[in-house]
Amino acid sequence: MRIQVEYFAVLREHVGRGAESCETAAATVGDLYRELDARHGFPAVGRLKVAVNDEFRDWDTPLSDGDHVVFIPPVAGG
């Protein structure tokens, strides 16, 4: 299936782009993250939030063809 993935903050900087479309056989959001981590070697960022189709979801959320997944690292500010 084809999934659209968006990255924010440190993940965007690390990957070198804000989004990508990828072919995957990942069954869940967590599986997709592990697959992408193996490809990109994500830095340790702490606890990420994830959204699927504009709604915050759990890591065990099933994926479907055409889903839009956003990985959101913790953000520090002042």
pLDDT on residue 76:
57
Domains of the chain, CATH where assigned: 2-72 (3.10.20.30)
Per-residue pLDDT for 77 more than 70? no
Mean pLDDT on 61-70: 98
pTM of the model: 0.89
Digit-coded pLDDT (tens) for 10-46: 899 999 999 999 999 999 999 999 999 999 998 887 7
Rounded-to-integer distance, Cα 61 and Cα 10, Å: 23
